[in-house]
Amino acid sequence: MLEVLFFLAAIGALGGAVGVVFLKNPFYSVLSLVVHLIFLAVLFLLLEAQFLAAAQIVVYAGAVMVIYVFVAAYVGGIEEPLFDPIPRLRVLGPVLAAAIFIEISIAVLGSSLVALGTEGASDLEAGFGTPASIGLLLLEDFLIAFEVASLLLLVTAVAAIVLAGRKPGEEGVES
């Protein structure tokens, strides 16, 4: 049962991710990203990370992607060329891609492959992955990191408003 669910979710997540890159219409790309995120939430559920799964759907599929879909529906509909090389990135692109590939390979070979043959952690403490345990971690053990991260998000939000909101009297803004 769990194995079937895992493979369904994994195939769905991979398919969604591939679709994002290979679909030509931006609107479909965004939709396939939504599919990917939903299957990712199922994978989180399989890992007993229930709060993370719910947060994933609420925040990403429910809020972030809504804005993506909103924008893509307005300006999308144009078939973008699949590969449109920007001159300067012709060299830098492959180098960065290779770097990321090596990095991920090291991570996979180092940890994930070792765990493949095992049964996984069977002695999870009670309440693992619940909102209560995550809340304790975020607001007791890692309070400073949590607050720094929220401060960073606040700065980004303020910056976005400053960049987007032009003062009255500037060019192209009425009163």
Q: Closer to another protein by CB, 71 or 155: give it.
A: 71
Nearest Cα to Cα of residue 44 among 65, 24, 29, 60: 60
Q: How far is the CB of 104 from another protein (least distance, A)?
A: 27
Report the interface residues with another protein, using CB under 8 A: 1-2, 5, 27, 31, 34, 38, 41, 45-46, 48, 50-51, 53-55, 57-58, 61-63, 66-67, 69-70, 73-74, 126-132
To the nearest 10 degrees (0 to 180), the angle between helices 26-46 and 2-22 is: 160
Q: How far is the CB of 87 from another protein (least distance, A)?
A: 35
Provide DSSP, 116-139.
HTS-----PPTTTTSHHHHHHIII
Nearest Cα to Cα of residue 73 among 34, 32, 25, 24: 25
Q: How far is the CB of 110 from another protein (least distance, A)?
A: 28
Q: How far is the CB of 62 from another protein (least distance, A)?
A: 2
Q: Which helix (H) or strand (E) holds 28?
A: helix 26-46
Q: Closer to another protein by CB, 14 or 66: give it.
A: 66
Q: Closer to another protein by CB, 18 or 67: give it.
A: 67
Q: Closer to another protein by CB, 67 or 136: give it.
A: 67
Contact yes or no for 34/66 (Cβ under 8 A) = no
